[in-house]
Amino acid sequence: MRNQQRVGLDLRKRLIIVASVLGLGSIALVVRAFDVQVVNNDFYLQQGQARSLREIPIPTSRGMITDRNGEPLAVSTPVESVWANPKELLESPGRIPELARALEVPADVLTRKLSQRSNKEFLYLKRRISPEQARRILAHNIPGVFSQREFRRFYPQGEAMAHVLGFTNVDDRGQEGLELSFDHILSGKAGSKRVIRDGQGRIVESVDLIEPAVPGHDLTLTIDRRIQFLAYRELRNQLTKTGASSGSAVIMDITSGEVLAMVNLPSYNPNAVGMGNPDTHRNRAVTDVFEPGSTMKPITVAAALNKGIVTPNTRIDLNPGYMALDRRYTVSDHNNYGVQTITGIITKSSNVGAAKLAARLDDTYFYEFVRQFGYGQKPGSGFPGESAGVLAAPSRWSGTTKATMSYGYGLSATPLQIAMVYAALGNGGKLITPTFVKGERHEPKQVLDPQIAREVMRMMQTVTETGGTATQAAILGYHVAGKTGTARKFSESGGYTRRYLAYFAGVVPVQNPRFSMVVVINDPDPERGYFGGYVSAPVFRNVMDGALRLMDVPPDDIDTWMAAQSKAQHASELRGEEGPVLPDASAAPLADATLPTPVDAPLTGGAR
């Protein structure tokens, strides 16, 4: 009995001890839990966040590019990019074929890409797609597949503005054109934030903003969208008509240096860059150099006038229509123009006359005079890939270089440079740096006496009037000053080919010059016509006629305008119609619609 009582007492003691230990353990667990979760929770919060907290970028938009009137030329639109965590996705290999079908890619290709990056946590699957496309892919709920917001560049004007604007790459960074030149202004600065993701990688909470996103700055160009499209249309039509391989046109505001339009053909679609020919991406108006042909002759005449060796009425004997430079080389005109004034040299575009003027000029003087107009130097517009052209120093000249330079051979320039030169003639001899940014101003440089500049302008006006080589450049109601050029193309094997460059460079209106324009058409089909006055002058006329009206420039040739109005009134009365029907300047018959004679030619009698 006594033994049984002792056993019962020991059992109760054991139960009490066990209960006490369990109770103390429970209390310790509660205290510890309270300490971990409430009192000293910082360490464990950091550990938990290290496993679920992520720092992700905040995308930002690129600045918008607009034309001078605020019309959008380049805008960034929100898109989605689908990406994957290869480590997580490869844990569900059975879902990869389903994902491949959603992405519209071969399953084996996708599997190989994932396997090659199996140790990575990020892989783009499809970039810059529409939000709807991204939602359809994510709707499959495949582990390790996510999307993020990005921006894609869109160019509403397409091919017409491609060479000016350029394009961006997949990361929205400028690659060509003004997108590249002003990338530092247009590019925004991406921000970043910390978020908490759940086990499926979804963001469940935004924790902290590390750095806010800064959008890019907008850029307003000097380009006028309307004039740009007009120039693009007319150049395209003329290339189709003449079978030419390429062409360029540049329009500048004479007093400000603003580039109002710059087009090149062939062009490309900047919204689908990868689908075109990369050779079409370069802006020929600023990168490609050509021998300028007879567009150089007004500068030669200006040099002679500036030196004081001739006046506009000085008579030059051009007989018999050619002149020998030495025993091997001859400079020739298409016709024998007899005796002409200095103005006549421009009107008839005489190679012989230009060469005779150059012969009276000192080599160093002629070189420096030509150079101060910008030949041989980059225009300074800031456009990427700008070419300086070629203007050799006198120490490198041969015995015939100065003569050929006088009528546009032996040096080379870009269309933009030629537009600058003609703008300087129209701006009273002030050369101004071209600009593409509205509001940007450069100090002009006086390179020619204003009186001489005006005299050269009056001479060039005769080129577009009856008897000149570019009557097809005439614009109803406006006096036009200009110069044609029809230059043979140099062959890579040496010498000149029977292929041509057709030029027209002009200024309008003469009385109060506003615009200079250069049209270069490369390699027109000789059987369809290749002279500058026939091929390039009509493009100038049609574009400038529209630009003058768009920019509300008043006519400076009222007499011709009134005569045309009177003639239209009389014609309508004969037809029994009410009111005059004014002729369209772009379609009006011109005084001399026949093909002008070819006036530019390199030296004959041997290779230069």
By annotation, the residues acting in catalysis are: 294
d(CA 147, CA 362): 71
CB atoms within 10 A of CB 470: 33
d(CA 150, CA 155): 17
Q: How far is CA 358 from CA 303, 304, 371, in A?
A: 8, 8, 15
Please state the separation of Cα 42 from the chain's center in Å: 57
Task: Answer yes or no: are the C-beta atoms of 495 and 464 closer than 8 Å.
Answer: no
Task: Answer yes or no: are the C-beta atoms of 564 and 588 closer than 8 Å.
Answer: yes
Q: Which of 338, 310, 309 is nearest to 322 (CA)?
A: 338
Q: Which of 543, 284, 549, 515 is nearest to 419 (CA)?
A: 515
Task: Answer yes or no: are the C-beta atoms of 338 and 318 closer than 8 Å.
Answer: yes
In three-state secondary structure terms, 220 is: strand
Instruction: Return left, alpha or beta for 606; rule: phi > 0 is left, psi -120 to 50 is alpha, else beta.
Output: left
Task: Give, in degrees to the nearest 5, the angle at Cα 379 between 373 and 384.
Answer: 165
User: Roughly how many angstroms between the first and final C-alpha of the chain, as a whole number?
Assistant: 140
Q: Name the token pair of 289.
A: 């150099």
Alpha helix stretches (DSSP H) within 319-467: 342-348, 351-359, 363-372, 401-406, 415-426, 450-461
Q: Which of 509, 463, 454 is nearest to 345 (CA)?
A: 463
H-helix or E-strand containing 49? helix 42-52
DSSP string, 133-197: HHHHHHTT--TTEEEEEEEEEE-TTGGGGHHHH--B-TTS-B-SHHHHHTHHHH--B-EEEEEEE
d(CA 502, CA 472): 14
Task: Answer yes or no: are the C-beta atoms of 461 and 481 closer than 8 Å.
Answer: yes
Q: Name the token pair of 90.
A: 């490869």
Q: Which of 378, 376, 425 is nearest to 254 (CA)?
A: 425
Q: Which of 80, 256, 281 is nearest to 163 (CA)?
A: 281
d(CA 531, CA 537): 9
Q: How far is CA 60 from CA 78, 149, 214, in A?
A: 9, 9, 7
The per-type count for the chain, helices as H runs and strands as E runs, is 21, 19
Q: Which residues contact 448 (CB under 8 A, 6 or more apart)?
A: 302, 306, 424, 425, 429
